[in-house]
A and B are shown apart, each in its own frame.
Chain A
Amino acid sequence: MKISVTLNGVAVQEDVEPHLLAAAWIRERRCLTGTHIGCDTTQCGACTILLDGVSVKSCTLLAVSLDGHAVTTIEGLAANGQDLHPMQAAFKENHGLQCGFCTPGMIMRAVDIAIHRREADEAEIRRELEGNICRCTGYRNIVAAVLAGAQAMRAARDK
């Protein structure tokens, strides 16, 4: 089936089999390997992308379901000419990653939180990250990064 997707701002058309998962389409067909498959059981969130601006787990989504929609992956966050999106920079500055495997999913989820839960404090951020699992960090620096990244995004908006 032919799908038309706006992928990281670019219109893309491709013929896909119905049983191809969105995560597989993104990684294998579009060669965007920043989206990771951690558990394949909808739990860990390493596969998190933004579908029309909201977080979804791409390992539990069909590529055909992307048809007619806008998809943002970790590769699509930084604006043209920007090295890093403010949320990515915040993860770097706050040591919000160790092995980095969960990180793209964490950052995509964090961007969603920063946009849709603007006043989120630490407790709310922890609740909002329930669908993203990290085996390395113990989450403390991840939460600090999300808070810092949200603040940076707010500052950029208010400029």
Chain B
Amino acid sequence: MKPFDYFRPGSVSGAVALAREQTCFLAGGMSLLPMMKHNLAAPVALIDLSAVPDLNGIRKTGDAIEIGAMTTHAAVAASVLVRETLPALVALVVGIGDPAVRNRGTIGGSLANNDPAADYPAGVLGLGATIVTDRREITADDFFIASFTTALEPGELITAVRFPVPLAAGYVRFRSAASRFPLAGVFVARFTGGVRVAVTGAAPSVFRVPGFEAPLAKDFSPGAIEAVSVDPARMLSDINGGAAYRAHLAGVMARRAVAEAMG
């Protein structure tokens, strides 16, 4: 790893003030440090968020569940509040990486990175969550732009993610046997106002499927989306699988996620 400067500020404003070109915030390090070890990222400085208070924790705010940006996957999985209100999010989180990785990896880090194969973006987009930063709030629909690219401005820091509680939700993923990342992971959530379907792993960034959402809003069952499919044109094609295969997987996982949501 190339040398870098290291800071451990004690506040959000302190952290944001340190950010400049070619600096990175360090959360759990489960994506950033491997990238740096491979020289895929070489920040001149790391701003360690571990000493910033108030970025941790899970709380109810009104009808929503708010998860602090530095909350680890292990903490989300263990949270009684999340298990009671967002069990599909628990199902998503317990499949990220492995237990030791989940002791470090964080929701804020995952979202800021926006790896095309990350699980969290499907949960956040599928539930229509709100990403709270040091300077504004960004809806999930506006947040995920492209591979490893989000709507965050340079130096902007995610502080929390706020999730509405659905009537029902499910997440099912099909993993690459080698990397264990999803080739297609689909999060389905039913609200009184309609249904949201979000697919990760299959395209350059997580995306919604209006062609699934409309029939599911009328009839929330796997059969409702038996005859519809995802367009392979926008899917990734690589050594792990071709575009047509990923599109096919998205349909299969969506139907399974609906079955999960139906309990």
Contacts and interface: CB of A to CB of B under 8 A. Distances in A.
A131 B48 contact: no
Contacts of B50: 65
Contact of A48 (B4, B34, B100): B100
A55 B5 contact: no
A18 B6 contact: yes
A64 B48 contact: yes
A19 interface: yes
A42 B179 CA distance: 11
B97 interface: yes
Nearest to A49: B100
Contacts of A64: 6, 8, 48
A134 interface: no
Interface residues of A, number: 26
Contacts, number: 66
A21 B1 CA distance: 9
Interface in A16-72: 17-19, 21, 40-42, 45, 48, 51, 54-57, 60-62, 64-65, 67
Interface residues of B, number: 24
Contacts of B8: 64, 67
B99 A65 contact: no
B103 interface: yes
Question: Which 10 interchain pairs have the tightest Cβ spacing?
Answer: A131-B98, A18-B6, A55-B100, A19-B1, A130-B98, A131-B100, A54-B103, A60-B33, A19-B3, A57-B100
Interface of A: 1, 17-19, 21, 40-42, 45, 48, 51, 54-57, 60-62, 64-65, 67, 109, 112, 128, 130-131
27 contacts: A1-B6, A18-B3, A18-B5, A41-B34, A42-B34, A42-B97, A42-B101, A45-B98, A54-B74, A55-B99, A55-B103, A56-B104, A57-B100, A57-B101, A57-B104, A60-B34, A60-B104, A61-B29, A62-B29, A64-B8, A64-B48, A65-B29, A65-B50, A67-B8, A130-B99, A131-B97, A131-B99
